[in-house]
Amino acid sequence: TVIESSHNLRGFEAGRAVDGNPKTYWLVPGGQRMEAMSRDKYLIFDLGCKMKISEIDILGRVHSLRGSRILLQIGPSAKGPWQQAHSFRALSSLQRTRSALPKDLPSTQFVRLFIRREGHATFRYKVHDVRFLCTSET
């Protein structure tokens, strides 16, 4: 479940990134005004209980010449403190990107995904789907 995001536009709310419908999406519009409001775009997820995450799968698109750097952070609560866990490049075209996380990553309930701006400031971001491959902490 998405519990917080940097942007929450009507009709393009963050929950659309996890609603199971690849035709809907979370939108961060481009433009200098929007960039001034948030250099980095983020989603915070509550996995429901402590889980061991082995992979992330993301579907989306940033309208730029290359994708964005995605930073995955974990924390003990929805407010952090956040620990850098993984980074990868994605969203260069509307196709799924799957990335394996470090095997020694501790179990967590809360995950923050930062979509880092790189290059020109006016890019539009669309995130259609985010999935975590997890196992319960037992």
**Beta strand residue intervals within 25-93, DSSP E:** 26-28, 41-62, 68-75, 83-90
Q: Two tokens at 27?
A: 């939108």
**CA distances (Å), origin 42, targets 14, 113, 135:** 9, 5, 24
3-class SS at 79? coil
pLDDT at residue number 73: 96
Residue range 1-50, pLDDT digits in tens: 999 998 888 999 999 999 999 899 998 876 555 555 556 789 999 999 99
Residue range 52-100, pLDDT digits in tens: 999 999 998 887 667 788 999 999 999 999 999 999 988 888 889 999 9
Distance separating alpha carbons of residues 50 and 57, to the nearest angstrom: 19
**CA distances (Å), origin 73, targets 8, 32, 107:** 20, 26, 12
Distance separating alpha carbons of residues 53 and 111, to the nearest angstrom: 10
